[in-house]
Amino acid sequence: MPLSDKQIRHLRSLAHHLKPVVRVGQYGIRDSVLTELSGALDAHELIKVKIVADKAERVALIERLTEASGAQLIQHIGQMAVLFRRNEKKPKIALPSR
C-alpha cells in the first residue's frame, strides 16, 4: 500500500524524536541484522536505522533492507534511514486519511 504525501509527512514528524533501533556496521547486512530489523518493525512499525558506510553503499544497503523486510523508506538523511511497515495484526500508528 503506497503512502500519500500527507501520511509520509506525519510519519517523518513521528520519527523525528526516535533513536536508532537497528545499526548496520562494518560487516554489512547479515541474517542477524534482518532478523533484528523484522522484529523491530513488528514491535514499533516506525524505526530509525543507522547505517555506517559511504554514501553509495548506504543507498544500496537501504534498498536491500527495504526489499528484504517489506518496509517502506520514509526518509534518508546522512547515516539515518526511517523505515515503516504496518503491523497488520496490531497496528500501533494511526495514519491520517489520504
Domain containing 70 — which CATH number? 3.30.110.60
**Does 74 reside within a domain?**
yes
Is residue 92 in a domain? no
Which pLDDT does position 2 carry in this prediction? 86
For residue 55, is it within any domain? yes
Domain of 11, in residue numbers:
5-84
72 vs 18: CA distance, rounded Å: 17
pLDDT at 1: 66
> What's the chain's average pLDDT?
93
47 in any annotated domain: yes
Q: Assess if residue 95 is contained within a domain.
A: no
pLDDT of residue 97: 86
Tens digits of residue pLDDT in 36-75 = 999 999 999 999 999 999 988 999 999 999 999 999 999 9
Would residue 93 count as lying in a domain? no
pLDDT of residue 35: 95
The whole-angstrom separation of Cα 24 and Cα 35 is 12
Of the pLDDT bands very low, low, confident and very high (cuts 50, 70, 90), residue 27 is confident
Q: What is the number of domains present in the chain?
A: 1
- Give a yes or no: residue 32 inside a domain: yes
